Structure 1
Amino acid sequence: MQQKEKWGSKIGFILASAGSAIGIGAIWKLPYVAATAGGGAFFLLFLVITLFVVMPILIAEFIIGRSSGGDAILAYKTLAPNTKWDLLGKLGVIGASILFSFYSVVGGWIITYLFKALSMSLAGATQAELLQEFSNTTASPYLSLGATFIFILLNVLVINRGVVSGIEKMSKFMMPALFYFIFSFNHSFINA
């Protein structure tokens, strides 16, 4: 039997866990929802729910995974044999697959707009021009499917490298980059 790969460092594990807990949705949609659903009050509620609901569930997932030493389905079969709890593991795998199909499209948009931002083609655009640009981007099947395929391919390449050389290495780069961009955008809005 092949030995399971382990995390190379605690910080790599923490950054990867934070990245999966934060997710694209919180980065992509949180500012919009916060602005339309109460601003600071919504954000405070978001933080409270994250701390008191999401974090305990995340810790429970870690405990279940560590105790069983198996994947999502095997974990429940190991910890609760002769029960139907393995259905929960199966639902988790199905849910993750559905979520990845959605995230792949959004990830493709992020890649597309990263290139547009780096080429400065969006600099100085008005809100109406940005909305038209988004409509043009999503109306192009070649651009949308191509960017989605690139996002999926990048995920496959990272995961194929394993835990330490793939996921942990990318998390150690991407999470600090995310915090840098958040700080930079907030700083630019404060100075504007």
Structure 2
Amino acid sequence: MKKLLSEQDLQKELAALPDEMTPQRDLWAGIERAIAVREQDKLSTESPVKKVYIPTAWAASLVVAVFVTWVSFSPLTSDQPVNIVQQNDSPLGLVVAMQESFKQTKQTMLVSFGQPKISALPKEIQEELSKLSSAQTTIEKALIEDPSNNDLLNLLRWTQEQELDLLSQLYSPKWQSI
């Protein structure tokens, strides 16, 4: 059992304690070593070369990746007919340019999917693609008669986008895993 001390006994015990305690061994060597290691770690992690090098390397690799992708998928200018460039001043030239741009985009998309066979798709999808294609043909014929009709131009662009969206949904990795 613990003995309860009175206030006076407690004061006597406190007075009997030494004023200063000394450690059993010298602690300064360990303290100096810890300070030196901490300063060394601080200097090595805050190196300006390291702070600049890593983000620069990431940025450079990103630029290279974007450039390689752009070069890989950019259409070749030698394949484009010269008369399209000359016809772009007229409204009919815009229709021809839209058609060529759509064909190139579609071809690039199909190449990136590994040249899939559209004939291997389900009948419903083939019918949908056929409807979009015939709608584009009909709109293009109407645009020959009225090449400056903005509504027809927007409708042609919309049908082309729908076809490209349908193809990208069909051949995306998400759809193929289902």
Per the shorter chain, which TM-score range? under 0.3
Largest Rg, 1 or 2: 2
Q: TM-score, normalised by structure 1?
A: 0.25
Q: Larger relative contact order (C-alpha < 8 A, sep ≥ 6)? A: 1
Q: TM-score, normalised by structure 2?
A: 0.27
In terms of fraction of residues, the more helix-rich structure is: 1
